[in-house]
Amino acid sequence: MRNGCIDMNIIKHNDIAFKVIASKPTYYFAKQIGEQPNAEFVDAFKQMLKSDTVIQSETHFIFCETIPDIDFEMVE
Protein backbone atom coordinates (compact mmCIF):
# COMPACT_ATOMS: atom_id res chain seq x y z
CA MET A 1 0.00 0.00 0.00
CA ARG A 2 1.31 3.41 -0.93
CA ASN A 3 -0.18 6.77 0.13
CA GLY A 4 -3.38 5.04 1.23
CA CYS A 5 -3.81 3.43 -2.19
CA ILE A 6 -3.68 -0.26 -2.95
CA ASP A 7 -1.10 -1.21 -5.57
CA MET A 8 -2.65 -3.28 -8.34
CA ASN A 9 -1.25 -4.27 -11.67
CA ILE A 10 -4.02 -4.04 -14.26
CA ILE A 11 -3.50 -5.10 -17.87
CA LYS A 12 -5.74 -5.06 -20.92
CA HIS A 13 -5.67 -8.00 -23.34
CA ASN A 14 -8.11 -8.39 -26.26
CA ASP A 15 -10.17 -5.46 -24.90
CA ILE A 16 -10.65 -7.22 -21.53
CA ALA A 17 -9.22 -5.84 -18.28
CA PHE A 18 -7.36 -8.19 -15.93
CA LYS A 19 -5.89 -7.87 -12.45
CA VAL A 20 -2.48 -9.53 -12.45
CA ILE A 21 -2.10 -12.02 -9.60
CA ALA A 22 1.32 -13.42 -10.52
CA SER A 23 3.80 -13.65 -13.37
CA LYS A 24 6.28 -16.50 -13.79
CA PRO A 25 8.87 -17.23 -16.49
CA THR A 26 7.82 -20.01 -18.87
CA TYR A 27 10.83 -22.16 -17.88
CA TYR A 28 9.44 -22.25 -14.32
CA PHE A 29 6.89 -24.83 -15.54
CA ALA A 30 9.24 -27.09 -17.52
CA LYS A 31 10.07 -30.55 -16.16
CA GLN A 32 13.72 -30.05 -17.13
CA ILE A 33 15.84 -27.14 -18.30
CA GLY A 34 15.42 -26.57 -22.03
CA GLU A 35 12.05 -28.34 -22.26
CA GLN A 36 8.71 -26.78 -23.15
CA PRO A 37 6.43 -25.77 -20.26
CA ASN A 38 4.17 -28.50 -18.93
CA ALA A 39 0.51 -27.48 -19.29
CA GLU A 40 -0.47 -29.52 -16.22
CA PHE A 41 2.01 -27.56 -14.07
CA VAL A 42 0.63 -24.27 -15.42
CA ASP A 43 -2.96 -25.36 -14.71
CA ALA A 44 -2.09 -26.54 -11.18
CA PHE A 45 -0.44 -23.19 -10.42
CA LYS A 46 -3.46 -21.37 -11.88
CA GLN A 47 -5.79 -23.33 -9.60
CA MET A 48 -3.58 -22.75 -6.57
CA LEU A 49 -3.73 -18.98 -7.16
CA LYS A 50 -7.48 -19.12 -7.90
CA SER A 51 -6.73 -17.35 -11.16
CA ASP A 52 -9.36 -17.51 -13.91
CA THR A 53 -7.11 -16.64 -16.86
CA VAL A 54 -3.53 -17.30 -17.96
CA ILE A 55 -1.97 -15.07 -20.60
CA GLN A 56 1.26 -16.26 -22.20
CA SER A 57 3.85 -13.81 -23.48
CA GLU A 58 7.07 -14.83 -25.22
CA THR A 59 8.81 -15.28 -21.88
CA HIS A 60 6.18 -15.44 -19.12
CA PHE A 61 2.86 -16.85 -18.00
CA ILE A 62 0.72 -14.11 -16.48
CA PHE A 63 -1.92 -15.36 -14.03
CA CYS A 64 -4.92 -13.05 -13.88
CA GLU A 65 -8.38 -12.40 -12.54
CA THR A 66 -10.87 -11.00 -15.06
CA ILE A 67 -12.30 -7.61 -14.16
CA PRO A 68 -15.96 -7.75 -15.19
CA ASP A 69 -17.49 -5.03 -17.34
CA ILE A 70 -19.98 -2.88 -15.54
CA ASP A 71 -23.17 -1.77 -17.25
CA PHE A 72 -24.10 1.76 -16.26
CA GLU A 73 -26.12 4.75 -17.29
CA MET A 74 -24.96 8.32 -17.06
CA VAL A 75 -27.20 10.22 -14.65
CA GLU A 76 -27.40 13.98 -14.93
- Distance CA(20)–CA(54), nearest Å, equals 10
Q: Domain residue spans in the chain?
A: 10-66
Number of Cβ within 10 Å of residue 53's Cβ equals 15
How do the pLDDT tens digits run along the chain, 76 residues long?
Answer: 455 555 569 999 998 999 999 999 999 999 888 889 999 999 999 999 999 999 999 999 999 999 998 877 888 8
In angstroms, what CA-CA distances link 12 with 1, 15, 49, 64? 22, 6, 20, 11
Closest among 70, 62, 67, 71 to 16, alpha carbons compared:
67
